[in-house]
Structure 1
Amino acid sequence: MAEWDIQKLEEKYRDVWPSTFEADPDEKDKFYLNVAFPYPSGAMHVGHGRTYIVPDVVARFWRMQDKNVLFPMAFHVTGTPVIGISKRIAKGDPDTVRLYRDLYQVPEDVLARFDDPMTIVQYFAGDYERIMRRCGLSIDWRRRFITVDPQYSKYIEWQYAHLKEGEHVVKGVHPVKYCPSCDNPVGDHDLLEGEKAEIMKFTLILFEWQGAKIPCATLRPETVYGVTNLWANPEVTYLRAKVDGEEWVLSREAAYKLEMQDHTIEVTGEVSGAEIVGSTASHPLCGEVPVLPAAFVDPDMGSGLVMSVPAHAPFDYIALRDLQEQGEFTGIEPVAIITSEGYGDLPAKDAIERAGITHQLDPRMDEVTREVYGAELLHGTLLANCGDQAGKPVKQARDDVAAIMLEEYGSKVMFEFDTRDVVCRCGGRVYVKILHDQWFLQYSDPAWKAQVHRQIDEMKIVPQEVRAEFDRTVDWLKDWACTRRVGLGTKLPWDTNWIIEPLSDSTLYMAFYTIAHHIKKIEPEKLTPEVFDYIIYGTGNPTTVPKETLDLIRAEFLYWYPYNYRFSAKDLISNHLTFQLFHHRAVMEEDKQPQGMVIFGMGLLNGAKMSSSKGNVVLLDDALNEFGPDTVRMFLVGSAEPWQDFDWRNELVIGAKKQIERFWNTVSEGIAVEENDGREIDGWLISRLQHRIENTTLALQNFQTRQALQEAFFGIEADLKWYRRRLPTIAPGSAAVQELCSAWVRLLAPVVPYTSEELWHQMGHDEPVAFAPWPVADAAKIDERTELAEEFLARTVEDIESIMRIIQMKPRAVNLYVAPAWKRQVFSIIAGAADPKQAVKLVMADEGLRGKGKAAADAAKQVTKFIHRLPPELVESVAAHDLDETAVLTAAQEFLQREFNVPVRVLEAEGSGEMKADAALPFKPAIVIE
């Protein structure tokens, strides 16, 4: 028997397989699955591996179910990320150079050429494909493209012409994420940090101060009635500036941000924070208030000056309290303006004291702030000292006061992120900018949203609970800036000064996969919009491409589309996965809408989130070198269900490697010898196999890769272990084992294809295991009585072992006392009872059992407790089969004596004279060890 050598198996099959998986339309039912294509700007890590290996397991499973399976792949390179990387490398940025040279292991001569973005694209796209082939992914590589291919750009131009025709692309004025270094709007995929940053709308409340205005940014304008003071940082030098012609005092950082948000800024001078502290400012709705010192005021947040509402803002309350404990500003009292259930007059004070917080730096301050703000927003009402707003719910007053501030008190709007660190891939900081001539996808359109909600209702989504997250995303999505001035990508066809941004050009590529291998053979200039109209809709009469060619391409599109399932990570629900639903509804016909999605969890490394930028990753290529592709595959699909987070730990991966070695050795031995002697235990093994086949199939149909592996590997291995234990001598093979091995290899082929392929050929098969028929459970081979008998025997062995561990002495003999027939009757009555609490009553209602008196009542109680500890399906089986337990144990007497190396006697409990025999129950004999 040859040793398992996964590296040799990889070399043997890796380069032979790809052409095998080229899928063309035929008479079979199709199964088209796809996955979010990668952006090849860095090396693949094991998190990427899981993203592509799980769909491959599903693809291989359905291929063996005789489906015509399409699993394509492409590479997403549009936008500015790769340009930002090339700029940082060209500038010699040490962190970037270190990342690519040391972590990603890019050769020095290649890295030297990374100042050209396309060199980065070509290098990593090639590397991704190489590694995907190593992983054994059953991809149709003929359909490979990159998103800067001219043929793909023609397809995007066609898509956007239809979006504009449907009035889904409009020009407008919106706040967007913007990188001044790139002079370009940016999307989440363009960011190194802050991918989830939200743009927040603040109201700038203007306080009069020495002939100028001090703006204070707030998300809670209704709290102006409770302002007791302002905060200024005495260490900061503020600017005096004319903002839209009006004299303001604000931080330098705030002036820069406001200039990007459509305000004219003219700096007229400076004023130190120390000068502002100790003065007073005023607003008509709160009167004159002092300006107090606060080192915690950040000049990079809002305007750099803050209004203080200590009754309702925990940070303000504790800061004021700290100053007053030092004997300063003792005359300032918090002003309550909101009443909220669960709080007294001063909610901020209540929350801080409940939490036992004693200082401003307590990490729980953010939590109590959210608690108070949330309670007041949901349940708060403004008090009588709030003028016209008195009695209004906070929700309503917030919007009303904001409008009043803008209309009557000169306030302005300022946009900020909800997080500080938003960084472009070029390394520059990202700000909020107002754009005027920008093109937007109008995701705010209620009619379009309604269509997508309906699509979400109709789709299959795994796991089911993320359906609500899709609906939430649709509800809050606003208009999306879909174009950029710079970057790689397709020019907007009607306004070529703009380039379509990467999240906006990657919404219908799933349909392009179906025709990509044909389209790439056609010159780009011949791919007019009419060509794609004909292919997708069957309309028009284009003349640039022969009709027979168009008919062939359209037939392929119609065969494959819509896709059956799309696989992607849950962090893409908030953008790409939902965007593509919008675009399908706008561009594709009703019968071409997505049918299903499977949403992945995230990847962890030793319990911490994986991050390439922080170096907390295991490169996929390194993992393949160390453990081999089948080991990596088995761990990634078996350590958690796809929608759960997985945690890569080397010691657990080594465990998966050992499991595959056991599988290899067991099958190699099992197919070597045939001993067909018709033992009863052979029938049990084959009967158990039918359940393993059925359960594995059901699990994979439901995308439960971990559950499938539990059945197909661990379940079968456990059955084989018991089977071999039951044999009088170790026999490496038998007809039953060979039948099991044939099914076992096929059940594991989607997970460990290299190992299974070699074993399949060793069995004498010529065709690839990837196209072998998937095992089908045969009900005729299921022997429930034999399975029940073995379960009874195995449980008895476990009970004997448990007792021996407790007594810790060498026994002379083991006596097994079998329960009498009347106790089996008690078991059946209780098993069939609708209310187990009535067990004693039901048993004593039986005329035959009533005569047993107290013994029957005691037995009813014992049996009830025992049944509660058994799986329901086992209870049902025990009740349904009148198992002759004495015969089972007697037939296994030789096995039991071999197991425990002592005489084993099988006795009837009733009339035995042994006191402990009274404990005997159906399916649980009394055990007495001498």
Structure 2
Amino acid sequence: MKEYETEYREAWTHSFEADPGEAEKFYLNVAYPYPSGAMHVGHGRTYIVPDVIARYWRMRGKHVLFPMAFHVTGSPVIGISKRIANGDEKTIKLYRDLYRVPQDVLDTFIEPDQIVRYFSGEYERIMRSCGLSIDWRRRFTTVYPQYSKFIEWQYLHLMEQNHVIRGAHPVKYCPQCDNPVGDHDLLEGEKAEIVKYVLVMFNWNEYKVPCATLRPETTYGVTNLWVNPDVTYKKVRVDGQKWILSPEAAAKISLQDHEVVYDGELPGTELIDQTVSHPFCGEVPILPATFVDPDMATGIVMSVPAHAPFDYIALRDLQETGKYTEIKLVSLINVSGYGQFPAQDAVEKSGIKDQNDPGMETLTQEIYSAEFSSGRMLPQYGGKPVKIAREEFSAIMLEQHGSLVMYDFDTRDIVCRCGSRVFVRILKDQWFLQYSDPEWKQQVHDQIDKLNLVPPEVRAEFDRTVDWLKDWACTRRIGLGTHLPWDKNWLVEPLSDSTIYMSFYTIAHKLVKIDAEKLTPEVFDYIFLGKGSPEELPLSKEEVEDLRSEFLYWYPYDFRFSAKDLISNHLTFQLFHHKALFPEELQPKGMVVFGMGLLEGAKMSSSKGNVILLEDAINDVGADTVRMFLVGSAEPWQDFDWRRELVSSTKKQIERFWNTIHEGIDAKGSYPIDTWLLSRMQERIANATGAMNSFQTRQALQEAYFGIESDLKWYRRRLPENVRVSSALNEISGAWIRLLAPFIPFTSQKLWEETGEIGDVAFSEWPVPDEKKINIPVELAEELLTRTVEDVESILKLIQIEPSGITLFVSPAWKYNVFNTIATAQDKKKVMSVIMKDEEMKKRGKEATDAAKQITNLIHRLPPELVSRISGLGIDETSVFESAKDFIERELGLPVTIVSAEGNAHPKAKMALPFKPAIVIE
């Protein structure tokens, strides 16, 4: 199959170039990749799913635009090139061994642009190998000068609207790059959040001993401080004030707008048993604790054992040795479900043995959450709810008791792509996008309500993101990208220059041919907003009108596809920027959010080598197998798991499809079962179409491949002996090929041609159900046969005797009447009384009530659609079984007798129900 994959890749070079036309458009796009390494199968799924959707809507007659570009701004490739230039073995090994970059090419990677050039070319080559139906004319990278002019236009408008401000904010910062960094700049710690601590300043002689807390309201309950005796602390002057800090904390504080001067060292052992004081808790001792992490906040911890499980159990462990028994717990907060000392209560009830118990972390979160959500301070501490008291105590400490704010991460090991550790830094002259603006937030909330989101439940996550988003550092000092038009010392950072590029796609192929200097803000104003006069622009009137016309044809985009982890940044950022820049009629219409990718059950990670390269997968099993597995193993919003065994199974499924279509090419003859097969095909088409309309690619494939394959198995069984196929297989082949064309385009194109069709199947018409071929009575009859044969086969597996024959007792007509009454009843609770009002049912008495109960249970077990068909049409079961008697006997290898259950004395006869004959095996 690989031979024709190569053939069609070349033939499709320009096939999917889309220009404005008369047909209704469908514009979809996907997050453009950052080409800094080889593509793996996770990337494949990201781009193949939208391609399946693009191909589907193209076949539905829409004018489809599916563009692609490459995101290369920022510092990631600079960090990679630095590591390679510095001889970093781990990086060199990754690119040489996993990504298999030729050595002569790898030698050039000391220049960032060489990395970009090589991998963007590789990405396009692999994407073409996957059969992606992309309009490659629109390809660009984010360092094109024309794109930079576009970004300048965007930021001038954002600045005019006061959405860009200058200020001092905490940011993720790489000291080696001397640059703020975003998640895309990180090797590790992409999900790390910046946490704002309040420093509670304890006094010790002439020194301040700061402890970082997220719960300043608990300071009244401090019974001691914890210090790690194995750490050598630093004596420092912070803005002239003497502090004691861990070495790590001193370095962090120096990045947060404080002047730090080192005065000496102090072993942790010398702090043990010293006494410190604070106005809220008085004098308390310093106790030893090796669990104190010097890299966590200040490296010194205040202990509130009544309300913090870790503090409680650490103090308990010390007191069990006979030390510090004079320390008593101080209760501060009353919370429902816990005693006077919630931490003690929770630890003792949970049977926690020591502070190393893995259950401690969960227990701590439970206590903290309960106290914050429903806790109330005791009357002597104000009596207010904790969530209110926390803010008030924080303000009092900052204003009256010398407390300061310190920022740190909620997790460790945040590493820049250059290999350096990342810290929190306060930048004074940084530019920020003011996502904190409540009016802007509300506009985005309103827009989210109008979006078509797949799956719908992510709407809440978008709203949550909008609510907690703070001002975002949108510039960097170094890297690749666009300079701020009003401050050339700064570059727009990667997440901030990738917010509205979907609009750039619409005219990218034309813009890249225009001298960038001619692309003034006024030009973009006219193209995107219709502002100004074409006669006053540096482009000809024809050029600028053509650009605006094309933009308006395609925009707004219909659907954007992206990973769910980007809801917290990129996907929400682009909503903010669209609201700021474009009118209501040009706002995004919808988004499809992807799940994550696993490899044999484990998370994929290029840096850890736990990936399958996409090109390797294509070479191993073929592009169509890769496509069919990635699209069919899970719905787009679900996580998928690449498992070699299942991938191999997918390859065999395509081979079966290939063989079946070829089997039907010269098939002749017709048989009664053909009517059923053609009818079932119409239902498969309808179901697959409905699933595709809802982006349920897995469900669509279940119908378009597995459903039809299942039908064919029954169809073959129902054909006469020694007959394998009929002309019906030939008749459904064209529709079947078209149903699978979006999923496996290479195989479908080859089969399209081999079945005598002309042209590209990608532009053929998507199948439409033919109402004339739908035959529900025939489908019901075959469903009855299928279920009956399966029931008999199940019984035969269980019985111990050698059977001699089978009797089928067919349900009497009156039970069908009961079935219809129950199936169509509006009020199921009253249906029994309705049945028993019938004169015939009254006469039958207990027989009728028993049958009604049995039929009710049967209806609950049957698919609702089947129940509806049975009650709506009914079926002559005797005729069905008599006409298929030879088939049943052939299938089961036993003589079959069909008997009416009505009036039959056999004890099993009364068990006969509609669509479920009573079965007797003798």
TM-score band, normalised by the shorter chain? over 0.9
* Alpha-carbon separation, structure 2, partners of 1:591 and 1:836: 48
Aligned with 1:906: secondary structure? Answer: strand
Q: Paired residue for 1:135, among 109, 130, 135?
A: 130
Deviation at 1:735, TM superposition (A): 3.3
- Cα distance between partner residues in 1 of 2:723 and 2:742: 29
1:303–1:898: structure 2 CA closer, same or farther, 3 Å change rule?
Answer: same
* 1:61 lines up with 2:56 in the alignment: yes
- Separation of aligned partners in 1, 2:887 and 2:201: 90
Which is further off, 40-49 or 606-615? 606-615
Structure 1 unaligned residues grouped into runs of 5+: 1-5
- By how many angstroms is 1:731 displaced? 3.9
Structure 2: how far apart are the matches of 1:765 and 1:288? 90
**Greater displacement, 350-359 / 71-80:** 350-359
Aligned: 1:602 with 2:612 = no
Equivalent position to 1:914, from 882, 906, 913: 906
- Work out the CA distance in 2 between the residues paired with 1:852 and 1:891: 31
CA contact (8 A) 1:340 1:380 kept: yes
Q: Distance in 1 between matches of 2:856 and 2:466?
A: 52
Residue number among 786, 792, 813 corresponding to 1:821 in the alignment: 813
Task: Determine which of 410, 413, 434 is the counterpart of 1:418.
Answer: 410
Residues 281 and 882 of structure 1, relative CA distance in 2, 3 Å threshold = closer
Partner in structure 1 of residue 763 of structure 2: 771
- For 1:374 and 1:730, locate their aligned partners in 2 and report how far apart those are by CA, in whole Å: 71
Answer whether contact 2:667 2:729 (CA < 8 A) is retained. no
Shift of residue 917, structure 1, vs aligned partner: 2.0
Tell which deviates more after alignment, 352-361 or 134-143.
352-361
* Native 8 Å contact 1:839 1:860 kept in 2: no
**Is the 8 Å Cα contact of residues 839 and 861 (structure 1) preserved in structure 2?**
no
* Deviations, residues 719-772 of structure 1 (Å, cap 9, x unaligned): 111111101135454332222111110001000101100011112112100000
Which residue of 1 is the match for residue 655 of structure 2? Answer: 661
SS in 2 for 1:145: coil
Equivalent AA in structure 2 for residue 778 of structure 1: D
SS at match of 1:399: helix
- Write the distance in 1 (CA, Å) between the matches of 2:120 and 2:112: 12
Q: Which deviates more from structure 2 when the two are superposed, residues 494-503 or residues 235-244?
A: 235-244
SS in 2 for 1:62: helix
Which deviations, in whole Å up to 9, do the C-alpha atoms of 1:494-518 show, x marking residues without a partner? 1101010000000011000000000
Q: 2:693 aligns with which of 691, 694, 701?
A: 701
Structure 2 partner of 1:929: 921
**Equivalent residue for 2:391?**
399
CA–CA separation in structure 1 for the residues paired with 2:797 and 2:549: 70
Which residue, 540, 543, 562 being the options, matches 1:546?
A: 540
Tell me whether 1:797 sits opposite 2:789 in the alignment.
yes
Residue identity matched to 1:327: G
**Aligned counterpart for 2:77 among listed residues 79, 82, 88:** 82
Q: How does 1:230-241 map to 2 (within 5 A)?
A: 230-241=225-236
> C-alpha displacement at 1:868, in angstroms?
1.9
Correspondence 1:109 to 2:109: no
Select the residue among 368, 372, 388 that pairs with 1:377.
372
1:8 Cα deviation from its structure 2 partner:
1.5
Output one character per residue of 1:871-908: Cα deviation in whole Å (capped at 9) or x when no partner: 12212221222311111111001111211222222222
1:806 aligned to which of 792, 798, 804: 798
Q: Pick which of 360-369 and 49-58 moved more.
A: 360-369
Q: For 2:15, what is the secondary structure of its paired residue?
A: helix
Structure 2: distance between partners of 1:867 and 1:612: 52
- Equivalent residue number for residue 683 of structure 2: 691
Q: 2:576 aligns with which of 555, 576, 582?
A: 582
Matches of 1:228 and 1:910, distance apart in 2: 86
| Matches of 2:848 and 2:299, distance apart in 1 | 82
Match 2:247 to one of 242, 247, 252: 252
Q: CA deviation at 1:9?
A: 2.1
Q: Name the residue aligned to 2:627.
A: 633
Match of 1:275 in 2: 270
Q: What does 1:315-326 align with in structure 2 at a 5 Å threshold?
A: 315-326=310-321
State how far apart, in whole Å, the 1-side matches of 2:243 and 2:853 are: 83
Which amino acid in structure 2 is aligned with residue 54 of structure 1?
Answer: V
Q: Is the 8 A contact 2:186 2:417 kept in 1?
A: yes
Per the alignment, residue 617 of structure 1 pairs with 611
Task: Please give the per-residue CA displacement for 1:171-225, whole angstroms capped at 9, x wherever unaligned.
Answer: 1111111000100001111111111111111111111112211111111111110
List per-residue Cα deviations over 1:581-636 (Å, max 9, x = no partner): 01111111221110000000111111111111111111111111111111111111
Q: Corresponding residue for 2:295?
A: 300
**Are residues 1:178 and 2:170 paired?**
no
Which shows bigger deviation, 735-744 or 25-34?
735-744
- Aligned partner of 2:891 in structure 1 is 899
Q: CA deviation at 1:18?
A: 2.7
CA contact (8 A) 1:308 1:316 kept: yes
- Residue 166 (structure 1) aligned to one of 142, 161, 164: 161
The two structures, once aligned, show a CA RMSD in angstroms of: 1.3
Q: State the alpha-carbon separation in 2 of the partners of residues 649 and 560 from structure 1.
A: 39
Alignment: residue pair count: 920
Matched residue of 1:18: which SS? Answer: coil
**1:349 and 1:98, CA in 2 relative to 1: closer, same or farther beyond 3 A?**
same
**Alignment partner of 1:868 is 2:836:** no
1:253-286 alpha-carbon deviations (Å, 9 max, x no partner): 1111111101111111111111111111111111
Superposed, which structure 2 residues align to 1:502-581 within 5 Å?
A: 502-540=494-532, 541=534, 542-581=536-575
Amino acid at match of 1:599: V
Counterparts of 1:325 and 1:162 in 2: how far apart (Å)?
Answer: 66
Q: Tell me what 1:191 maps to.
A: 186
After superposition, give the CA deviation of every residue in 1:81-101 in whole Å (9 maximum; x if it has no partner): 111111111111121112111
Cα deviation per residue 1:203-251 (whole Å; 9 max; x = unaligned)?
1111111221111111111111011111111111111111111111111
1:442 maps to 2:429: no
Secondary structure of the equivalent of 1:192?
strand
The TM-score with structure 1 as length reference comes to 0.97
Residue 835 of structure 1, CA deviation: 4.2
Question: 1:650 is aligned with what amino acid?
Answer: R
Deviation at 1:809, TM superposition (A): 4.6
CA distance in 2, matches of 1:177, 1:730: 73
* Normalised TM-score (structure 2): 0.98
Instruction: State the SS of the aligned residue for 2:74.
Output: coil
Which residue of 2 is the match for residue 47 of structure 1? 42
1:75 partner letter: F
Alpha carbons 1:670, 1:732 under 8 Å: kept: no
Q: How far apart, CA to CA, are the structure 1 residues paired with 2:349 and 2:117?
A: 59
Aligned partners of 1:526, 1:732: CA distance in 2, in Å? 69
Partner of 2:211: 216
Q: Percent identity?
A: 65
What is the aligned counterpart of 2:322 among 324, 327, 339? 327
Q: Distance in 2 between matches of 1:242 and 1:208?
A: 14
Please say if residues 673 and 732 of structure 1, whose CA atoms lie closer than 8 Å, have aligned partners that are also in contact.
no
Which range moved further: 837-846 or 630-639? 837-846
User: Residue 71 of structure 1 contacts residue 138 of structure 1 at CA under 8 Å; is this kept in 2?
Assistant: yes
Shift of 1:839: 5.1
Residue 462 of structure 1 pairs with residue 454 of structure 2: yes
Contact 1:337 1:383 survives alignment (8 Å): yes
Give the Cα separation in 1 of the matches to 2:800 and 2:5. Answer: 50
2:304 pairs with 1:309: yes
The answer to whether the aligner puts 1:92 opposite 2:95 as a matched pair is no
1:3 matched residue in structure 2: none
Q: Distance in 1 between matches of 2:214 and 2:852?
A: 67
Partner of 1:650: 644
Cα distance in structure 2, aligned partners of 1:409 and 1:909: 91
Amino acid at match of 2:585: D
Provide the residue aligned with 1:782 in structure 2.
774
